[in-house]
Each structure stands twice: as structure tokens, then as C-alpha cells.
Amino acid sequence: MPLSDEDVREILRIIDESDLAELQIETDGFSLHVVRGGGTGAGSGDAQPKASPEPAPADPPSAVPEPAASGDGHTTIPAPMLGTFYRAEAPGKPPFVDVGDRVEPDTIVCIIEVMKMMNSVPAGVAGTVAEVIAENAKLVEYGQPLFRIEPESA
């Protein structure tokens, strides 16, 4: 499903209201790469959108962030994209996971809504949920910590 002009405007609005410096979105037949300031564009601080009809190759910065170990031995699950974080599939439904729940790498831990599209987020690691960091129904940014997982002992 291609992005409409209204979708692109909404993305730019979200970026403008966030602290993001860069965002790249790719769908079938469409690529949008937005860089705020510092680039080769008009004013500094302005978002400079570049749209192309063909998907661009994925750059390492736009890759999905991997769960990362922290100093206390826990692993952090980061947000793979900018959007609205939801702990459950619908209002009134139980959360996908809660503190104390065991997860596998393919266990869905939350969804992130971007432009009315729901994106499932897998844990990416096996272990036990130690903390839910992100607040339900709030905007999260790319790479922002969502959960802390106590990894399985080897």
C-alpha cells in the first residue's frame, strides 16, 4: 500500500514534534528519507524530505536495533521505529507480556502503530521480562528502550 501525500505530511509532523534527527521509511515501491538540519539542504534545522519511487537499499543506521546488554546483565529491547507504543492488541485486552513473563526471541512483546499500521515487535531474546520501560499509548522514538529482559542462564 503506497503512502499518500497526507501520510507523508503526517510523518513530517511527527518528526517535527520529536527529537529525531533522521528517519527512513520504506514500503513496496516507495522510500522516504528525512534528515533534520546539518545536511545539504535549505535552512539548518528544517527537515529535508527525499522521496523516490523505488525502495533504497537499507543503510546500517536504518536497520532494526538489536536487543542490547546493559551493565547489570539485563538486555534492553529497543523500539524498532518511531510510533505509538501499545502493550496489548486492543484496549481492554491483556498485555502481550508483563513483568515475570518468560519470552522467546519470536515472542511478540508489543505493537507500535505508525500511520494506522500496527507493527508487531518480537523480543529478539530469550529470558524473563524484568521491566516494562515505555508507557502504554505514548510516542516512542527509534532505539528508545521498551523492555528490560533478564536473559536465560547459559
56 sits in which H/E element: none
CA distance 15 to 129: 30
Identify the sign of the CA torsion 30, 50, 3, 79: positive
Compute the average pLDDT of residues 18-34: 69
The reported pTM is 0.58
Tens digit of each residue's pLDDT (9 = 90 or more) over 58-76: 443 445 566 666 667 899 9
User: Torsions phi, psi of 120, nearest 5?
Assistant: -70, 140
| Nine cell digits for residue 95 | 498485555
Compute the average pLDDT of residues 49-54: 47
Tens digit of each residue's pLDDT (9 = 90 or more) over 73-86: 899 999 999 999 99
Residue 27 has pLDDT above 60, yes or no: yes
What band does 125 get if pLDDT is binned at 50, 70 and 90? very high
Which pLDDT score, from 0 to 100, does residue 134 have? Answer: 97
Provide the CB-side half-sphere exposure for 123 (13 A, CA). 26
Domains of the chain: 5-61 (no CATH), 68-151 (2.40.50.100)
CA distance 33 to 26: 8
More confident residue, 79 or 47: 79
